[in-house]
Amino acid sequence: MRCILAALICFASAQLLAQAASPAVEHSSEIVLKTDTAEILINDEVLVSGREHYQFRLAAWLNIESLLLNGQEVRPLVQGPEYWLALPDSNTHKLQFTLRGTVPARDSQQGSRPGMLSSGGVDGFFLPGYDAWIPQDESGRISYRMTVTVPSGQRAVASGKLVSEQVIEDVYISTFETVNPAEPPSLFVGPYQVTERLSNGLRLRTYFHEDLVPLAETYLEAADGYIQRYQQSIGAYPYSDFHVISAPIPVGLGFPNLTYVGRQVIPLPFMRTRSLAHEVLHNWWGNAVSVDYASGNWAEGLTTYLADYALAADQGREAAQSMRIKWLRDYAALPAERDQPVIGFTSKQHQASQVIGYNKVAFIFHMLAKEIGQAAFDDGLRGFWQKHKYETASWRDLQAAFERAAGQDLDWFFGQWLLRSGAPRLSLGAHSVNQDEAGFRTRVEILQPVTGYRFQLSVSLTTVDGTRQYEITLDDTLTRVEFVTPAKPLYFQADPDSDVFRRLHQNETPPILRDVTLDPEARTLIASNDADFSGAARSLASRLMDTPPRFENLAAAQQPGNSLLLITTNARLTEDLKLLGLERPFGLPKVAYSAEVWTTRRTDGVAVLVVSAANADDLKSLLRPLPHYGGQSFVLFEAGRALSRGIWPITRGALFRDLKP
Ligand SMILES: [Zn+2]
**Do strands 25-34 and 2-3 pair parallel, antiparallel, or not at all (unpaired)?**
unpaired
Residue 430 has pLDDT above 90, yes or no: yes
CB neighbour class for 340 (10 Å; exposed up to 12, middle 13-18, buried from 19)? middle
State in Å: Cα 257 to ligand 1 middle: 14
Mean per-residue pLDDT of the chain:
89
Q: What is the pLDDT of residue 120?
A: 40
Q: What is the pLDDT of residue 650?
A: 61
pLDDT band at residue 43 under the 50/70/90 scheme:
very high
State in Å: Cα 415 to ligand 1 middle: 24
State in Å: Cα 11 to ligand 1 middle: 13
State in Å: Cα 307 to ligand 1 middle: 10
Residue 372 has pLDDT above 90, yes or no: yes
State in Å: Cα 301 to ligand 1 middle: 8
State in Å: Cα 330 to ligand 1 middle: 18
State in Å: Cα 548 to ligand 1 middle: 40
pLDDT band at residue 2 under the 50/70/90 scheme:
low
Q: What is the pLDDT of residue 473?
A: 94
State in Å: Cα 296 to ligand 1 middle: 14
State in Å: Cα 224 to ligand 1 middle: 19
Residue 415 has pLDDT above 90, yes or no: yes
pLDDT band at residue 110 under the 50/70/90 scheme:
very low
Residue pLDDT, tens place only, 445-468: 999 999 999 999 999 999 999 999
CB neighbour class for 303 (10 Å; exposed up to 12, middle 13-18, buried from 19)? buried
Residue pLDDT, tens place only, 201-239: 999 999 999 999 999 999 999 999 999 999 999 999 999
State in Å: Cα 304 to ligand 1 middle: 7
Residue 21 has pLDDT above 50, yes or no: no
Residue 116 has pLDDT above 60, yes or no: no
State in Å: Cα 4 to ligand 1 middle: 5
The residue type found at 440 is: F
> What strand order describes the sheet that includes 171-177?
72-73, 62-69, 93-102, 39-48, 25-34, 143-151, 171-177, 161-168
State in Å: Cα 278 to ligand 1 middle: 6
Q: What are the backbone angles phi and psi of residue 133, rounded to the nearest 5°?
A: -85, -10
State in Å: Cα 310 to ligand 1 middle: 14
Length of the chain: 661
Residue 119 has pLDDT above 70, yes or no: no
State in Å: Cα 453 to ligand 1 middle: 28
When pLDDT is averaged across residues 429-438 and rounded to a whole number, the result is 94
State in Å: Cα 5 to ligand 1 middle: 9
Q: Are 157 and 245 in contact (CB under 8 A)?
A: yes
Percentage, residues of the chain above pLDDT 90: 71
Q: Transcribe 494-563 into DSSP letters.
A: ESTT--S--PPPGGGSPP-HHHHHT-TT-EEEEE---HHHHHHHHHHHHHH-SS--EE--HHHHHSTTS-
State in Å: Cα 422 to ligand 1 middle: 23
CA–centroid distance for 92 within its chain = 43
Assign 355 to helix, strand or coil. helix
State in Å: Cα 146 to ligand 1 middle: 27
Residue in 609, 582, 586, 614 with CA at minimum distance from that of residue 597: 609
Lowest-confidence pick of 142-156, 357-371, 524-538, 645-659: 645-659
State in Å: Cα 348 to ligand 1 middle: 9
Q: Are 149 and 172 in contact (CB under 8 A)?
A: yes
pTM metric for this prediction: 0.79
State in Å: Cα 101 to ligand 1 middle: 32
